[in-house]
Amino acid sequence: MKTPLDLVQAAKARITEVSLDAAEQALRDADVLIDVREADEFAAGHIPGALHFSRGMLEFKLAADPSLQRRDLQIVLYCKTSGRAALAAASLLDMGYVHVKSIAGGFDAWAAAGKPVNKPATPAFD
């Protein structure tokens, strides 16, 4: 029986994972940046410009949006640490998307490196 880790490792063997150093260029080249974490994770902070399509709804959201159906779109995905993004990238390859990348280390590595993060505004209680 395969474990989730086995599935992630198999996905990572099939996909293109970009290093944190190469991620900023990948984002500049991307047509779309997708955060596949859960809604509460996205709301707590995300990479600027990211769309939120949770891992469980990713394929359905892409299929429902005509602007995201071109199979030659440059897509960059990320999650918390890169496991869900790897699984998502493999799924998109299976759907026929040909330019799919995942950010190694995910959002945690991005934020730890001091890269830009959109966070919710803290209300002022004056």
The helix/strand/coil state of 78 is strand
| Residue of 76, 79, 85, 100 marked catalytic | 79
Up-side HSE of residue 8: CA atoms within 13 Å toward CB? 12
Q: Helices 83-95 and 4-14 meet at what angle, rounded to 10?
A: 60
* 69 labelled catalytic: no
The helix/strand/coil state of 76 is strand
Which amino acid belongs to residue 99?
Answer: H
What is the C-alpha radius of gyration for the chain, rounded to an integer number of angstroms?
15
Q: Do the Cβ atoms of 42 and 120 come closer than 8 Å?
A: no
**Residues involved in catalysis:** 79
